[in-house]
Structures are given as C-alpha cells and as structure tokens.
Amino acid sequence: MEKLTGKSILKGIAIGKILFYQKDEQAVKRVKTEDTKAEIERYVNARKEAVLQLNELYKKAVKEVGEMNAAVFEVHAMMVEDGDYVDSIVNIIETQQVNAEYAVAVTGDNFSKMFAEMDDDYFKARAADVKDISERIINILSGNKNSGNNLKEPVIIVADDLAPSETVQMDKEKLLAFVTEHGSSNSHTAILARTMNIPALTGISISKEWDGKIAVLDGYTGTLYIDAGKDTIDKFKKRQDEDIKSRELLQNLKGKEDITLDGRKIKLYANIGSVKDVANVLANDAAGIGLFRSEFLYLETNDYPDEESQFTAYKTVAENMAGKKVIVRTLDIGADKQADYFNLDHEDNPAMGYRAIRICLERTDIFKTQLRALLRASAFGNISIMFPMIISVNEVKRIKEIVKSVKAELSQEGIPYGDTELGIMIETPAAVMISDLLAQEVDFFSIGTNDLTQYTLAIDRQNMKLDNIYDSHHPAVLRMIQMTVENGHKHGCWVGICGELGADTELTEDFVRMGIDELSVSPSFVLPIRKIIRNIKME
C-alpha cells in the first residue's frame, strides 16, 4: 500500500477505483490552406458552438453549485468572443494561410503565456481560463466529443489539474472524489468541490500507474492510500458510516436555538451571492443572512445594474427571509472581482488598490443608486447595510453623510424606507487598530477573515506557492479578532465574523469564548456549527 499526503480541499471519506484522467491533448498540426475563408467560417461556427456549450454548462452549474459559483462559465463564454482573442485567430488564419485548429492553439498559447507572466493575480488566473476555452474550440473543430464526463462507474478522479468546466461536466453521482497534483485550495475548482460537497485533495504527486487501483481518500487528514488493503478499507468504511449518521443527526437540530449549555445565544447566519441562494439558507435553517455579496449583481451584467433591478433583488431576499436579518455588503468590486464596464485601470497590486468603498466614495452616483435600492427594500424586511474595506473614521463619516442625504431624497419623494443598522467590515489591520473609534460610529462589525488574514500575514491567499505558510490560525490573526470584539463591545457595537474562518469548526468554541455575537457561514455549515455551539459550556 502506498500512502501520500496533500492539502485537503474538503473533509470527507471516499473509497473506490481510481480513474486517471488525462486530457486529450493531441498535437495540433499546422496545415497549409488556400481557402482561408472556409477556415474562418469553420472557426466562427466552432466559436458559436463553444458559447452554446458554455451556456448549457452555466445552467447545469447553477442547479448544482449555485449562481455565484457558476459565474465562471459566463466569464468563459465572454472570453470566447473577446475581440482581441478573435482577431488574433482570424489574423493567423489569413496571414499564415493555416487551419483553424492551429490558429486557435497558437493564440491560446500566446494569450495564456501573456496572462501567466503578469504581476496582477486576477490576470494570472485568466491564463488557465484561456487555455480551457481554446481546448474547447479545438475539440469542436476536430470533432472530439470526449469531454471526460462519461463516467461508467463511481470513481476517484486523479488528474494533473482540472478546469472548472471539467469538474462540473462530470457526473456528480459517479464522482466519489478527486485528487490533483496542481491547483490552489482557493481555485475555482476547489470552490466548486466544496460547494458540490465532494472530498478532494491537491498537491499530491500523481502517477498513471494508479489507474484502476482501489484507493481511500481521507479528507480529514489530507491522506491518499493507494492499493489499500482490506483492513484499511474496513476502517474507513466505518468512518464513512459514522459521517452519514452524523449528517442525519444534524437534521434533528433544525428549529433548535443557537445557544450554549449555559445560556449564551449566538446569531448563526449564512452567506449568499444571489437571490437564488436564499432557498439553501432556509433549507439549512440559518437565523438570518450575515453576508449578501451584492457585487454579484454587478458581475452578472454587462452594464451597471439600475436602481429598480437592485431594489427587486434586495426586496425579494428580505421578503423571503420573513423578518430575519439580511446584511447586505455594498459593492465590493476590484481586486479579483472585475467588471469590464467599470473601466478600472490595471494595477500592480489590485488587492490593495482601487476597490470596494474606495470606488464608491469617489463614484458616488453608483453608490447612491445602490443605497437608494437598499433603503427602499428595507421597508419590506429586516435589512442592514455593511460597508467593506474600511481603514479610517473619516470614511465612515462620509458614508453616513451620503446615507443621510439619500434618506432625505427618499423622504422628499414620499418613498418609505426602514430603520436600517449600519455596519462595517473589519478586514484591514488599520480597522482593527482603530476599532475602538470605529465602534462609536456604527451599529455592528463583521470581521472579514479572508482579507484580514492575507493583509496581516502579507501573504496573497490566491498564491498556491504560499499555501503551506498561509495560516489563518496565526496568533496575530486571532489576537486581532479578540481586539475587535473587545473594542466593539466596549462601545455598544455587536461583532460577527463572515469570512471562511467563521466555518472553521476547530475555532468555533474559541470564537464563542472571545465573545463573538454572530457567525455567518456557507449554508451547509450552519447545522454542524449549531451542534458545536449547543455543546459549549462557558465555565
């Protein structure tokens, strides 16, 4: 038996036969042609077919992993029709008088290399996307229909890496788990695995010789057992049975309070990215929504969403939550979330650049449109508004002045609005250090642990080379959370956590003991966290 260790993407156990997944990367031959018009026509038809395939993939992904995670396929469809990409392919066909497959392959390689060499992490990530769409078009041109989704039996997929499209196309009923050699734990594919609830490991040195062998994947320890013996299989089958029973028992917690053994109540909310995600929130019995990522309303359109479309989205969520709190984060565009129509300049370090509240306070027309929609929707439910990327008291005061002016406009127009709490994200060390001053200006804090961790440790959380030293449990991060809680409470401000760390079950009890008032997590984590909370005794 061979035992290997990698990085776990999702906790869980998988037992089954290995399928070594190898992409059909047949060499694309350069073929001279006299009829360049015919080749361009072949390419145009293949491009149209690629867009149709990606649109179907998007629909499938929405059903399986939600609108937010499916958005990557909309991005791919747009990239297929990108002007520069299209022009390059047509130009190569015309000037070099070559076949369409070769022109697409060369363009894909050139663009992928160009993106990979950029300093900007957002554009670096686009290198894999360009490669993915180019392979799709080449497969269509060459008539290759083997997309890797025809799984004959339940298997553990082992691959060098997987594109998001490959992951979604696989039959979920037959995909037991997957193991990759490359890919970050924060990649699109990793996020999809967590959303689809599929155990997965990355960072494992893989081998073709494993194909057909029986393996055990232990997502709790990040271990893969190749050619596992009967004793090992029996041991992990027992663990699997325990996991199934645990999930069934969790259903009994629906309708129960989020309260410790000695009576301390915690608000246990859920994070969402779209109106459709509300169904999952209700199904998992969350007490409210602690983070509605409103930027996805902007990322899903080709132009700025108007007041009415935003109002409808916020109103629908508020009504569906039937009086439960809904905390909407205002526009957090920039960094790794880009919308072309914003026309943002290229930045060497976008994570620390022109983003989120910095855009809103400069482009107040966009900001006021969103605030009008939010305040109007607040008349139909329990909406709170939260502002991201705060670093100063002056920013908060400016925000409050703008909110006040928007309320005055609505009053003058005779448009009703509710009594909304105003809060801020604590996701920069600067905000932590002045949290005693900020707490005097707002009703609540929500700690964004993803950005707070990367800024505190000076580690890019998207960089897989740094995965081994990216430590969200670092004492500095935990001390900052504790400081924020203490300063918030000192000035009557309640404090929550809405980052990934909120769902870290190893820290749930620590957060409760720190005095955290609220945890907002992915809907599927609500019941597991509830179970822990209900077993905590504060003595």
- Strands (DSSP E) contained in 451-535 are 494-497, 518-521
Query: Is 360 known to be catalytic?
Result: no
14: helix, coil or strand?
strand
In 411-483, the DSSP E strands lie at 422-426, 444-447
d(CA 492, CA 490): 6
Q: How many CA atoms lie within 13 A of 351 on its CB side?
A: 20
Q: Give yes or no: 474 in active site.
A: no
Alpha-carbon dihedral of residues 51, 55, 57, 59, nearest 10 degrees? 180
Catalytic residue among 188, 360, 489, 493: 188
Q: How far apart are CA 38 and CA 128, in angstroms?
A: 29
Strand partners, 177: 156
Contacts 24+ apart (CB under 8 A), 284-287: 284/523, 284/524, 284/526, 284/527, 285/253, 285/254, 285/255, 285/526, 285/527, 285/530, 286/523, 286/526, 287/258, 287/324, 287/325
Q: Which residues, including other chains, have CB under 8 Å from residue 75's CB and lie 6 or more apart?
A: 129
Q: Which one of the listed residues 76, 360, 493, 498 is annotated catalytic?
A: 498
The total number of residues written for the chain in this structure: 539
Beta bridge partner(s), residue 320: none
Summarize the chain as % helix, strand, coil (round to 5): 50, 15, 35
Rounded Cα distance, 353 and 350, in Å: 5
> Could you give the angle at the alpha carbon of 195 between the alpha carbons of 192 and 198, nearest 5°?
80
- Burial class from Cβ neighbours inside 10 Å (0-12, 13-18, 19+) for residue 365 reads exposed
Q: So which residues are the catalytic ones?
A: 188, 498
